[in-house]
Amino acid sequence: MNYWLKSILSVILIGFGAINFYTMYELLGRSPEKPRRFFPEALKNFHRYSGYFFILIFAVISFFCLMGVVNDPFDFSPRGIVHALLALTIPILLASKLLAVKLYRGFYAEAAGLGKSAFALSLLLFAVSGGYYFLLMYPQGITGTLLVQNKCVRCHTLERVFSISKSKEGWEQTVARMADRVPGWISTIEKEQIIDSLVKTSSDLKEK
């Protein structure tokens, strides 16, 4: 599964999470003076099934992320570590909520708090994964240049980087070699953006 599809699924995931979050407030948070906008049974069904779809999509995304970790080295950047910690924490919160609702009713009062926490962390997870991808991909030129400035200066001056002209294949080999020196410093998406930016810079140099 590519980054684009996972990011789209992440948007859908947040959508179901928002529905679940809203219906929870409608069911539990309204005062007697303010009647609910919808029938209680309809709200319960919306809440229940949006939760099920949320868990299903989360499981699908998690499965393909695990497959990606198996096939590619883990991203040990701060963003990658935060991503992993959030992805491990959210299922624990969801499982705790389900157990409180279905089996251990003595903890039922904590279910709402667990649901809120899971949704809040899901938003944060989206920000460092799907949201990060969208920010990285659009517009490509600006983000690619910023990545070159932030990543490549670890080992080189910008003057050196921007003064070299290579083909796309040449930059692919160079960036891959540089990325291998510090595992996790440059992710797969970032490599693509850096290469595109460097190829454009090389093209501009040839035209001068």
Question: For residue 42, what are the CA distances in angstroms to 29, 47, 119, 155?
Answer: 16, 9, 21, 59
**Are the C-beta atoms of residues 196 and 138 closer than 8 Å to each other?**
no
Residue 170 lies in domain: 139-207
Residues 34 and 116 in one domain: yes
Share of the chain above pLDDT 90, in %: 32
Residues 124 and 145 in one domain: no
Give me the pLDDT at residue 58, please. Answer: 94
Q: What is the tally of structural domains in the chain?
A: 2
Residues 91 and 171 in one domain: no
Residue-wise pLDDT tens digits, 60-85: 998 888 876 666 555 566 777 888 89
Give me the pLDDT at residue 166, please. Answer: 86
The mean predicted confidence, pLDDT, of the chain is 81
Q: Please give the residue that has the higher pLDDT: either 204 or 196.
A: 196
In this prediction, residue 207 has a pLDDT band, given cuts at 50, 70 and 90, of low
Residues 77 and 9 in one domain: yes
Question: For residue 120, what are the CA distances in angstroms to 27, 98, 101, 168?
Answer: 19, 17, 19, 41
Residue-wise pLDDT tens digits, 27-67: 887 776 666 666 778 888 999 999 999 999 999 998 888 87
Give me the pLDDT at residue 135, please. Answer: 64
pTM of the entire structure? 0.64
Residue-wise pLDDT tens digits, 82-116: 888 999 999 999 999 999 998 998 998 999 999 99
What backbone phi and psi angles, to 5 degrees, belong to 93? -65, -40
Of the candidates 136, 159, 175, which is a domain's last residue?
Answer: 136
Give me the pLDDT at residue 187, please. Answer: 81
For residue 6, pLDDT beyond 90: no
